[in-house]
Structure 1
Amino acid sequence: MTTVRLPLFPLNSVLFPGLVLPLNVFEERYRAMMRDLSKIPEDDERRFVVVAIRDGLEIAPSSPGLPDPTAVPEKGPAAGFGEEPLRAFHEVGCIADTATLQERPDGGFELLTTGTKRVRLLSVDASGPYLTAEVEELAEEPGEDAGSLAETVLRAFRSYQKRLAGAKERTLAPDAELPDEPSVISFLVAAATMLDVPTRQRLLEAPDTASRLREELRLLRTETAVIRHLPSLPAIELTRSPTSLN
């Protein structure tokens, strides 16, 4: 088993391979991470792991990067995640590759990342200025009938999109060109459908592409039926989502 240790960036959201994630970094522990990443040449990989926080397990806010009278006494890379940080996070995350990294005058950072590979967290180290994790890469197996399932899911996704007509912030345009690789389709649909974090996490952890697509087909049909019965609720309000903050 090949493992690697990478910086760990916990979020209240799920990152999928192939999907873009903008981040606005202001907490000191993540500023320290970004300062180290910025020292890596742009031609090399500036990688870290994005992992979703288990619901209810961020037990305290961490200290902000700038002086703040409301800051709590608890500080350090594991602030807010308890004595065993590994237990505060979901087991499977996604490696993020940094495309752009810009420091602001206030010392914060804005960056644009892309998910690359799913990984399983094996251990978390809080001895440095920020969390790091030992992870192993998870292979993406196609599973049975992934190709035909992908076609069916795309049709269901188009129907779902039509029910969200006008919600351009989180859905694809009706004439958008979609991929034909089943695994890519499965991750795209998982990211573009309105789902809560536990459901997205379950899709990320699916044992293979076909299993993920089967679950997405069920979810899409359910969500489309729900939206059909909520004609008075503006779809754009359902899909508005801010840039992820740390």
Structure 2
Amino acid sequence: MTPTPMFPLEVAMLPGEQLPLRIFEPRYSAMISDCLAGDREFGVVLIAAGREVGGGDMRSDVGAMARIVEHTSQGGGRYRLRCELGDRFRVTQWLDDAPYPRAEVRAWPDEPGTPVTGSDIADVEDAVLSVFSLVASARDEELPSREELLGSAEPGQQAGERLYALAARIPIGQADRYAVLAAPSASARLSVLQEAVETLRAMVEFQLSE
């Protein structure tokens, strides 16, 4: 199995998201140079503890593949990148960090589970809009349209993919984002997102009550 270059971040990235990056640390400059000479892909995982710069971090074992779609070399090993997040994976083994973080990974598509219907997703969207409405009302602002806030399902998009896209638009914490990413099935992802939205609503109601 060919090792996969890995980029640990302090953010849990979700499939379908855009990822802008500014590269300057030597080990990641070497990684990006190798990626650009190859398939332009690397894995992204959440740092469970520690920091991005300098190493010594603890890394999560579920992530998503990033593909470089735009890049600018700024000289001296510095790059500006725009990446798109794609398929989810599990890390099966972390390898030595020399010359940069690497791991053996296995693709992890959604597992079978209880079907998630359009009605299920609409219910979550309604709950999210209700929270946004609370905030807009408190600020005496007009709420943007449903599509502007939450986007809309793309043709052929699976329920699990739509839930990723929805989660990316909601101001939830990194632990909740990672729970969405690591949910084994679309139905499990739905449950995680429902709980995250309930937590968000409780936080908003508490803050508005003060």
Matches within 5 A, 1:232-243: none
Q: CA deviation at 1:179?
A: 1.0
Alignment of 1:20-99 (within 5 A): 20-40=18-38, 45-55=39-49, 57-58=50-51, 61-62=53-54, 79-81=55-57, 88-99=58-69
State the identity as a percent.
27
Partner of 2:129: 158
Number of residue pairs the alignment of both structures matches: 199
CA contact (8 A) 1:161 1:174 kept: no
Is the partner of 1:54 in helix, strand or coil? strand
Is 1:149–1:214's contact at 8 Å kept on the other side of the alignment?
Answer: no
Structure 1 residues 61 and 95: CA distance shift in structure 2, 3 A: closer
| Deviation readout 1:105-159 (Å, 9 max, x if unpaired) | 4531111111111111111222642111100010213521411322211221222
Q: Deviations over 1:52-102 (max 9, x none)?
A: 1112x45x952xxxxxxxxxxxxxxxx424xxxxxx211111111111111
Runs of 4+ that moved beyond 6 A:
none
Retained in 1: the 8 A contact 2:179–2:192? no
Residue number among 89, 94, 98 corresponding to 1:124 in the alignment: 94
The one-character-per-residue Cα deviations of 1:158-180 (angstroms, maximum 9, x if unpaired) are 2233344499xxxx853324116
Indicate how the Cα distance of structure 1 residues 165 and 143 shifts in structure 2: closer, same or farther if over 3 A, else same. Answer: farther
After superposition, give the CA deviation of every residue in 1:27-62 in whole Å (9 maximum; x if it has no partner): 11111111112223xxxx41100011112x45x952
Gaps of 5+ in 1: 63-78, 82-87, 234-246
Is the 2:42–2:65 Cα contact (8 Å) retained in structure 1?
yes
Between the aligned partners of 2:26 and 2:188, the Cα distance in structure 1 is 39
Ranked by relative contact order (alpha carbons within 8 Å, sequence separation 6 or more), the top structure is 1
Which whole-Å CA distance do the structure 1 matches of 2:16 and 2:185 have between them?
16
Contact 1:4 1:135 (8 Å CA) reproduced:
no
Q: Which residue does 1:201 correspond to in 2?
A: 178
| Cα distance change on mapping 1:231 and 1:7 into 2, 3 Å | same
SS at match of 2:147: coil
Q: 2:9 aligned to 11, 14, 25, which one?
A: 11
Q: Which runs of 5+ in 2 are unaligned?
A: none
TM superposition shift of 1:232: 8.7
TM-score, length basis structure 1: 0.71
How far, CA to CA, are the matches of 1:193 and 1:90 in structure 2?
Answer: 22
CA distance in 2, matches of 1:164, 1:108: 40
Higher strand share: 2
Deviation of 1:4 after TM superposition, in Å, equals 5.0
Q: Secondary structure at 2:11's aligned position in 1?
A: coil
CA distance in structure 1 between the aligned counterparts of 2:103 and 2:80, rounded to whole angstroms = 22
SS at match of 2:190: helix
- Mapped contact 1:101–1:110 kept (Cα < 8 A): yes
The whole-number CA distance in structure 1 between the counterparts of 2:101 and 2:14 is: 21
Closer, same or farther: CA 145–89 of 1 in aligned 2, 3 Å:
same
Q: TM-score when scaled to structure 2?
A: 0.82
